[in-house]
Amino acid sequence: MGATDYETQINNLVEAEQLDEAIRLIETLESVLLKESKEEKLREVQMLKAQKLFERRKYEQSMALFATVSAPPERVVKLFPRVIAGDISIWPEVEEDDQPEGDAKAIAKDEGIASEDGTGVIGGVEVDETSKANGESTGNGEPSDPKAMDIKTDSSGDATPEKAKSRSTTPELKRSPTTETYGSMRNIAFSRKYGETASIFSFGTRRVDENDSASLLANKDNQPVDDTPRPLEGEELKKATQELARSYLNDVRRKLTKYFDSEGNPVDPLLILASGSAHEASRKDPLEASFLTLDGVSSPEVEDPVKERIEKLMETCKLVDTTLFRAYMLIRPALVGPLVRIQNQCDPDVVSEKLREQGKFDDLVDFLERKKLHRDALELLRFFGQAEDDSKAPNLHGPQRTITYLERLKAEHIDLIFEFATWPLKVEPKLGMEIFVGDTGNSESLPRPKVLDYLEQQDQGLAIQYLEHIITELKDMTPEFHTRLAGLYLAVLSQDHTQAVKDTWHARFLKFLETSDQYRAEKVLGSLPRDVPEYYECRAVVLSKMGRHKAALEIYVFKLNDHAKAEEYCMRVHRSRPSPTATAMDSVTTETVYHILLSLYLRPPSPHDQQLGPALTILSRHGARLEASDALKLIPGNVKVKDLESYFESRIRAANATVTENRIIAALRKSHIVDVQERLLDARNSPVVVSEENVCPVCHKRLGLSVIWRLPTYVH
């Protein structure tokens, strides 16, 4: 009749599996009446109830309760077979039915289980069920037929069968405690793996407490049933897994997302949970607070607490995501793709194995990319991309998927890009070049000298395409790239091509020489052949970039004999407004480019002849741009004045135009002065009335007798 303390009462209720009663008792008690923490004790009993509900196949209620109390993921996941829980499952890897016949008999002999052929053991003694049915001896010389057994009276007066008495008194036939409690090898392994929670499971027939709804299990005759835990299979496994993923794993995963930044890197849980204090955070969610609890934090064994907390967080995330992946593979394979494409912490070995078994190679590539296992993903893409049979992975066949993958890689993976971009460039060069010139953002950040060296090894045309892209599109003004492009143009032109192809390349080369100002002209000029006619114009353009106008014009006048291009050259130089003088190398100081051309026509170097016609054309069209005294000195004495009529007319018109222009400018300036003076008079003569009510708009004081200024409405 003595009072029992509350701790003992709670423990007795838990041992009796009256979990609802234990929960109500804990909720009723004050915290000071319990030795342990009330919250922790209540949470533990609720988790025991959730496990009991799971055992009763009430999966929805079980998982909802697990989620409510924030149960540790390992404690929940290990209730499932290995297909879902992996190595942490409480169920053995090899089931009893899959064992060899010899092993099964050995276990049956140890545990007292009858074999398929009717033979078995009880308490370590072999028994033949068929012989018992026929009334044969059971191994100790006595008949197995109950009718054949003599009924004797023991000392207490109770009638006891002789066989039963013999069995009860024979030491060899006594059951061991382990055998009597669990009954089978599977149950022994089950209890060992459950650890601290093994006591809530009953192995074999047990009593039923009608007052505990969580432990009530009876058949229609109100008789106890055999509720020995067995691994989930078939539809039961799918139902349980669906509730695990829906009610528990997704809820835990949502809680864990806060511990990762936008790049997917883990953050110290202490920074997230303990914005106020770690104690306050631990009261909100026990699962999240467990990340702050380390074994031996106060001891010097934990050198880096931050690293330990992050590792503990990552282990939990890995278990949750890997289990969720296994669950989706079992119940809804369509959800595997979205899971592996988002940030996740799934075990790569498990995911790779499962996806390969199911032939989901598209999802496997996405997963490997998300986990930054780029080499494995690219090798898989190369295998299926080059495979002749595309039936296994049709979406991965060909170079397109590999190119798309390489476009997403950054500069830090440049070696991988070079290694796996080779075969797409050989199969489809135009498509493969999108890796280096595509509008993806990553292509611009790639190291351009390395890319250029790689492409030049593959094909000079690809290197030219890349240089044209970075020079034209990306506006790269690096002189080395411009000079190298000129060298590649020359290399391509020196190869054997049809005349049409050569003309196309020559036009591109000439246009580049004219438009670019960044290549090293001296180096390019040294690479150009001197006596090859198709390179004459190219040499003239390069000489022009060097400021050697006389040498350039000599090519146009004497080698190309193209007076139109010579005149166009002078017009282009004049419009660009460079220094109008030639360089000291040409021994010219004050002469314009037109004067240089005129001197080449009228006083050509040996052995060229004088060209009076083109010279007179230059004088008539551009005579105004020449100094009259210098131009007339170059004209030979045998030239008639009539031939110079157009020149003089252009000079007179140019002089008159200058005088007229100066007069117009002077008249406009006078008109402007008169206009300004008139506006000044109007401003001065404008009346202004100032009364006592007028207030300054700036200082808001009455004007009174103060000196005031009136500003005009227009101020210049």
* pLDDT tens profile 474-514: 999 999 999 999 999 999 999 988 999 999 999 999 999 99
pLDDT tens, position by position, 609-657: 888 888 888 887 887 777 777 777 888 777 777 777 777 887 788 788 8
Q: Within its chain, how far is the Cα of 432 from the centroid?
A: 21
**Roughly what angle, to the nearest 10 degrees, separates helices 612-622 and 563-576?**
30
Does position 298 have pLDDT exceeding 80, yes or no?
A: no
Q: How confident is the model at residue 710 (pLDDT cuts 50, 70, 90)?
A: low
Which residues make Cβ contacts (< 8 Å) with residue 244, sequence separation at least 6?
A: 59, 63, 76, 77, 80, 84, 323, 327
Q: Evaluate if residue 311 carries a pLDDT over 70.
A: yes
* 690 vs 315: which has the higher pLDDT: 315
Distance CA 444, CA 579 (A): 37
Short-list 685, 689, 682, CA closest to 714? 682
Kindly state the average pLDDT of the residues 566-578.
82
Query: What one-letter code names the amino acid at 696?
Result: C
Residue 494 phi, psi dihedral angles, 5° rounding: -80, -10
The amino acid present at 558, given as its one-letter code, is F
272-294 average pLDDT score: 66
More confident residue, 559 or 389: 559
Exposure string over 27-48, b if 16+ CB within 10 A, otherwise e: eebeeeebeeeeeebbbbbbbb
Q: Is the pLDDT of residue 182 over 50?
A: no
Q: Are 248 and 67 in contact (CB under 8 A)?
A: yes
* Token duo for residue 452: 């250029």
Reported as a single tens digit per residue, the pLDDT across 142-171 is: 444 433 334 333 433 343 334 333 333 333
pLDDT digits (tens, 9 = 90+) for 332-350: 999 999 999 998 999 999 9
Distance, in Å, from the CA atom of 563 to the CA atom of 338, rounded to the nearest integer, reads 70
- Before 607, cis peptide (omega within 30)? yes
Q: How confident is the model at residue 17 (pLDDT cuts 50, 70, 90)?
A: confident
Q: Name the residue with higher pLDDT: 621 or 185.
A: 621
For residues 448 and 470, the answer to whether their CB atoms sit within 8 Å is yes
- At 40 the pLDDT is 82
Share of the chain above pLDDT 70, in %: 74
Q: Residue 464 pLDDT more than 60?
A: yes
Is the CA virtual torsion 77, 80, 86, 90 positive or negative? positive
Q: Which residue has the higher pLDDT, 499 or 592?
A: 499
Residue 102 pLDDT grade (very low, low, confident, very high; cuts 50, 70, 90): very low
Q: What is the 3-state secondary structure (H, E, C) of 360-415?
A: CHHHHHHHHHHCCCHHHHHHHHHHHHHCCCCCCCHHHCCCHHHHHHHHCCCHHHHH
Alpha-carbon span 56 to 167, nearest angstrom? 37
